[in-house]
Amino acid sequence: MATSPYVADLLHPLTPEEQQLRESFYATLDESMKAEWINGEMIIHSPVRLQHGDASLQLAFLINLYLQLHPLGKVFHEKVLIQLTRNAYEPDVCFFNAARAAAFTPHTIIFPAPDFIAEVLSHSTAERDRGVKFEDYAAHGVREYWIIDPEQQHIEQYVLHTGHYQLQLSAADGDIESRVINGLRMPIRAVFDAAIRRATVHAMVAHASA
């Protein structure tokens, strides 16, 4: 399948002027900010609503627990800056496999494209999450992408196939199984419901101990 002009533009090297602007963006960042560099512009994010923050935190918690029991890699929640060809993002949740994570040091502050990303929709980010990020993540080989709608308590799961995302699942109930984090399977409701999440945690631990 041919690459669209839009995706080709995302993969085109930065001009010296653009590179200088992006370096200035990096220089302005501090740990108190959540900011991204998208299409030549610094995007500073406003504080998230409770339902947004809770969904991303609980998903990261569940993935992290699974990785404590099955050391397959490393998961990050929010404040991790990934640098792609033109843009730089701070995904809500991202995962790197063990081989790639082993290359990171305690002082790493800019990361490559991860293996898995989840973004939680908000009114201010939905267009980018479904637009430039969707295209950019696919173009840079992010093998699995989840889009989480905290209002509808719904997850869309996309898997990379020949350079493009294919929808694997779109649901508010039932189980979701990662195609990248081997063996990770959980109820969708575990991201949103505390009682289901507790049962999922007990099941993960019991299965790992069996």
Each residue's pLDDT tens digit, 39-84: 888 888 877 888 989 999 999 999 999 999 999 999 999 889 999 9
d(CA 172, CA 112) in angstroms, rounded, equals 31
Residue-level pLDDT at 197:
98
Expressed as residue numbers, the domain containing 111 is 5-209
Q: How many distinct structural domains can be found in the chain?
A: 1
Are the C-beta atoms of 121 and 98 separated by less than 8 Å? no
The parts of the chain modelled with pLDDT lower than 50 are: none
Amino acid code (one letter) for 127? E
CATH number of residue 78's parent domain? 3.90.1570.10
pTM listed for this prediction: 0.92
Residue-level pLDDT at 5:
64
Which stretches of 70-139 are DSSP H helices? 98-101, 126-130, 132-139
Each residue's pLDDT tens digit, 29-41: 877 778 898 888 8
Residue-level pLDDT at 3:
64
Are the C-beta atoms of 188 and 176 separated by less than 8 Å? yes
Residue-level pLDDT at 6:
66
Residue-level pLDDT at 118:
98
